[in-house]
């Protein structure tokens, strides 16, 4: 089943909702934990994932008052990722890019030579945006144009009229003019877009929408999405709508039931799961939750908080002592203070000494007077107790008795393999003279305590057995590289029964043998599947010549677009799925199948009762 977690956000409602509570601030434990989760989830390319996931996480970070443009991972930032990625020629990409660029203070009218605002306008036809049956594109195009300071645009005025004309009598909105997916998600998004465009809060349409949301709240305090129970995505959208509707509740006590429900979905690592029993899309759910819990709503605008998040690593004489994100007050964030905080969290013995008015690191776990630090790979000239860190910095403290070490960087072609496959490794070293990375000869590649040497900066590792392997590079004049974890799993083929139903298709049913596979979505993105999941069954059927299908990778996960040419649309509905006669809430690349499972794929304007 496709979960249209429309983008975004979270809590704070109006008092008529059962007393929604006060917004969290950027220094609250829940937000700090979520920001640390974001930092730990950042990828080596600087982004947070494809399909728009990077943009939504960036906006959540911006909502927390930090500038994600400078969050570094392996020396790369989210902006590096966005610049390198090819922007597809789709309205959803234009809208998302306008929103993220505005949230970080960039110009959406000149993104690598493209005016994204005009791109959105080019999708306007017949007094609305995009598909004439769709409402979602009108909701989000309106929000994006408001972000781009187009509040007086006739395009916005026409879109607002179109949205208002298609409100249901009970105050709700659906995903389309045909009544598909009516619920709190789309209703909340409509409210956000209307209020962003300046539609009066006391209008009949807004009041009906708020009343509808109040009536659909579940007994546990959360909000449902169709047949999906209370979940983080819907909670967040409703909270965002309520924040946009009223600021009076910001002074209320934090006893709001929806806030309580959402916080129950937060995990110990700071992430948020989708529902009580589903962990799908945790990064996207956390982006939703952070924005809403902070009382923010789209469009997000830059606003700096008093907190920063940095990546901290302490490399000892023989091994890595700690590697973790730290979110801390910006006013007191120095390399020394962050080191102390990381040591205290990890229970690492350390000694700080005072000389006149300055503080110095004396020892860590008994190793004395041999410690240095680098920020973003550069050896600074300022003292550790006075140099101010910035949001997104990478800080490494390292044991260096000779005083000559610089950073090593290990790059892998993949982190997921099958037995018998090879991984290609490249190691580079930071050159202080040029400020650039150079190939690193004569390093030692450590694979689970075993050592493989290389003389030219490149290694090939053959993995013959299943397991989880830790890799890092070492060199006498280098700082130990960040560890990489490689998972080697055997994917055994299974056989499942697949049935496909649609009013415009002859039903097809048959046995399919499937395992892991590589598929290519409509945007040309390659998706590697290591386990037999729902889409593996479709791929198995396609390879046998039984069917054709298409998918697209989005921030919400992999979405099934069509089977045998029959696409999801605003008349016939979405593709849904069941396994062993039970509804599946997960995306088609997330639900793992078992041998003998019975699968049903069907297209319908609404889910089956």
Taking only the tens place, the pLDDT of each residue in 81-115 is: 999 987 777 888 999 999 999 999 999 999 999 99
Q: Considering the chain, what percentage of its residues have pLDDT values greater than 90?
A: 62
CB 10 within 8 A of CB 288: yes
**What average pLDDT does this structure show over 66-74?**
96
Strands 566-567 and 443-447: unpaired
For domain 494-604, say whether CATH 1.10.10.10 is its number: no
The DSSP secondary-structure symbol of 177 reads: T
What letter does residue 486 receive in the DSSP assignment? E
CA pair distance 13, 299, nearest whole angstrom: 18
What is the CATH code for 307-399?
A: 2.170.130.30
Backbone angles phi, psi at 136, to 5 degrees: -60, -45
| CATH of 15-293 given 3.30.110.30, 3.20.20.70, 1.20.120.1080, 1.50.10.20 | 1.50.10.20
Task: Name the burial class of residue 526, with classes exposed (0-12), middle (13-18) and buried (19+) by CB atoms within 10 angstroms of its CB.
Answer: exposed
Q: At what angle do helices 29-41 and 282-293 cross, to 10 degrees?
A: 150
The chain-wide mean pLDDT, for the chain, equals 88
Please name which of 228, 269, 310, 302 lies closest in space to residue 39, comparing C-alpha atoms: 310
Question: How far is it, in rounded angstroms, from Cα 400 to Cα 407?
Answer: 12
What class has domain 406-488? mainly beta
Task: Taking residues 374-386, report their average pLDDT.
Answer: 94
Strand runs labelled E in 400-515: 406-412, 416-417, 422-431, 436-439, 443-447, 450-454, 458-462, 467-474, 478-479, 484-488, 494-502, 505-514
Q: Is 494 helix (H, G, I), strand (E, B) or coil?
A: strand
SS3 label, residue 321: strand
C-alpha closest to that of 568 among 528, 601, 525, 608: 601
| Residue 608 DSSP SS3 | coil
What is the C-alpha R_g of the chain?
26
- Encode burial over 163-185: b for 16+ CB neighbours within 10 A, e otherwise: bbebbeeebbbbbbbbbbbbbbb
Tell me the per-residue pLDDT of 167-186, one tens digit each, with 9 for 90 and over. 999 999 998 888 888 999 99
Query: What residues have CB less than 8 Å from 434, skipping those under 6 apart?
Result: none
pLDDT over 70 for what percent of the chain? 93
**Looking up tokens 């970080």, which residue turns up?**
104
How would you list the strands of the sheet with 582-583, edge to edge? 505-514, 494-502, 598-604, 574-579, 582-583
Q: Determine the Cα–Cα distance for residues 242 and 259; give it in Å rounded to an integer.
A: 12
Give the CA distances from residue 523 to residues 51, 287, 527, 554, 560, in Å, rounded to whole numbers and listed in that order.
10, 24, 11, 10, 13
Query: Measured between alpha carbons, how far is residue 505 from residues 378, 499, 500, 542, 566 in Å?
Result: 61, 12, 8, 16, 8
Instruction: Please work out, in degrees rounded to the nearest 5, the angle formed at the alpha carbon of residue 282 by the alpha carbons of 280 and 286.
Output: 145
CA-CA distance, 279 to 231, in Å (whole number)? 11
Higher-confidence residue of 192 and 566: namely 192
The pTM of this model reads: 0.87
pLDDT digits (tens, 9 = 90+) for 301-359: 998 899 999 999 999 999 999 999 999 999 999 999 999 999 999 999 999 999 888 99
Are 569 and 133 in contact by the 8 Å Cβ rule? The answer is yes
**What is the separation of C-alpha 10 from the centre of its chain, rounded to a whole number of angstroms?**
15
Model confidence pLDDT, tens digit, residues 25-43: 999 999 999 999 999 999 9
In this prediction, residue 573 has a pLDDT band, given cuts at 50, 70 and 90, of confident
pLDDT tens by residue, 112-154: 999 999 999 999 998 899 888 889 999 999 999 999 999 999 9
Nearest Cα residue to 314 out of 286, 342, 292: 342
Q: Residue 518: in which H helix or E strand, if any?
A: strand 517-520
Give the DSSP H/E element, type plus range, for residue 125.
strand 124-125
For the cut 60, the answer to whether the pLDDT of residue 503 exceeds it is: yes
Ordered by start, the domain boundaries in the chain are 15-293, 307-399, 406-488, 494-604
Alpha-carbon span 456 to 452, nearest angstrom: 13
Asked if pLDDT for residue 256 goes beyond 90, the answer is: no
Work out the angle at residue 394's Cα, subtended by the Cα atoms of residues 437 and 356, and round it to the nearest 5 degrees: 115
Q: Do domains 307-399 and 494-604 have the same CATH topology?
A: yes
Mean predicted confidence (pLDDT) in 419-435: 91
DSSP per-residue codes, 352-390: EEEETTEEEEEEETTEES-EEEEETTB--SS-TTTPPP-
Main-chain dihedrals φ then ψ at residue 34, nearest 5 degrees: -70, -40
Q: Which of 470, 468, 392, 388 is nearest to 425 (CA)?
A: 470
- Residue range 193-233, pLDDT digits in tens: 999 999 999 999 999 999 899 889 898 989 998 878 999 99
């Amino acid at each position: 089943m496709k979960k249209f977690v429309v983008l975004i956000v979270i809590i704070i409602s109006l008092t008529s909702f059962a007393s929604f509570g006060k917004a969290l601030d950027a220094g609250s434990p829940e937000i700090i934990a979520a920001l640390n989760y974001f930092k730990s989830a950042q990828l080596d390319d600087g982004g947070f994932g494809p399909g728009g996931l990077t943009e939504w996480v960036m906006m959540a970070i911006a909502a927390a008052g930090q500038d994600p443009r400078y969050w570094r991972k392996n020396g790369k930032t989210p902006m590096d990722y966005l610049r390198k990625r090819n922007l597809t020629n789709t309205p959803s990409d234009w809208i998302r890019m306008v929103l993220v660029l505005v949230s970080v203070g960039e110009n959406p009218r000149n993104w690598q030579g493209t005016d994204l605002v005009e791109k959105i306008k080019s999708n306007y036809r017949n007094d609305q945006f995009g598909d004439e049956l769709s409402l979602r594109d009108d909701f989000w195009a309106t929000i994006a144009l408001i972000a781009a300071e187009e509040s007086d645009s006739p395009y916005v005025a026409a879109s607002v009229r179109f949205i208002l004309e298609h409100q249901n009598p009970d105050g709700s909105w659906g995903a389309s003019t045909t009544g598909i997916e009516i619920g709190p998600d789309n209703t909340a998004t409509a409210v956000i877009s209307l209020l962003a465009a300046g539609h009066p809060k006391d209008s009949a349409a807004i009041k009906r929408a708020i009343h509808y949301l109040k009536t659909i709240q579940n007994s546990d305090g959360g909000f449902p999405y169709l047949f999906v129970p209370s979940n983080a995505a819907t909670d967040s959208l409703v909270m965002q709508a309520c924040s946009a509707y009223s600021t009076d509740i910001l002074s209320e006590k934090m006893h709001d039931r929806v806030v309580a429900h959402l916080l129950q979905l937060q995990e110990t690592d700071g992430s948020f799961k989708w529902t009580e029993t589903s962990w799908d899309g945790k990064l996207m759910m956390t982006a939703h939750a952070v924005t809403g819990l902070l009382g923010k709503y789209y469009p997000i605008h830059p606003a700096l908080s008093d907190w920063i998040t940095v990546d901290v690593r302490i490399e000892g004489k023989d091994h890595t002592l700690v590697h973790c994100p730290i979110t801390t007050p910006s006013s007191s964030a120095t390399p020394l203070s962050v080191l102390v905080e990381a040591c205290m969290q990890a229970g690492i013995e350390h000694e700080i000494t005072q000389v006149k008015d300055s503080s110095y690191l004396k020892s860590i776990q008994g190793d004395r007077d041999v410690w240095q630090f680098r920020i973003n790979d550069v050896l600074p000239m300022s003292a550790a107790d006075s140099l101010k860190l910035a949001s997104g910095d990478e800080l490494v403290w390292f044991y260096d008795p000779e005083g000559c070490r610089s950073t090593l960087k290990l790059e892998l072609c993949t982190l997921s393999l099958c037995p018998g496959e090879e991984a290609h490794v490249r190691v580079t070293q930071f050159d202080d003279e040029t400020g650039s990375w150079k190939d690193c000869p004569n390093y030692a590649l450590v694979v689970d305590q075993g050592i493989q040497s290389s003389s030219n900066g490149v290694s090939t590792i053959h993995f013959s057995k299943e397991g989880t392997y830790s890799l890092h590079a070492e060199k006498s004049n280098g700082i130990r590289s960040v560890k990489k974890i490689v998972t080697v799993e055997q994917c055994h083929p299974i056989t499942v029964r697949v049935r496909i139903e649609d009013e415009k298709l002859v039903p097809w049913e048959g046995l399919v043998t499937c395992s892991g596979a590589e598929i290519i979505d409509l945007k040309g993105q390659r998706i590697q599947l290591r386990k037999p999941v729902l889409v593996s069954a479709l791929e198995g059927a396609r390879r046998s010549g039984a069917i054709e299908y298409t998918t697209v990778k989005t921030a919400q996960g992999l979405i099934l677009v069509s089977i045998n040419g029959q696409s999801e649309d605003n008349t016939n509905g979405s593709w849904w799925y069941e396994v062993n006669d039970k509804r599946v809430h997960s995306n088609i690349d997330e639900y793992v199948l078992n041998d003998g499972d019975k699968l049903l794929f069907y297209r319908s304007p609404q889910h089956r009762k």
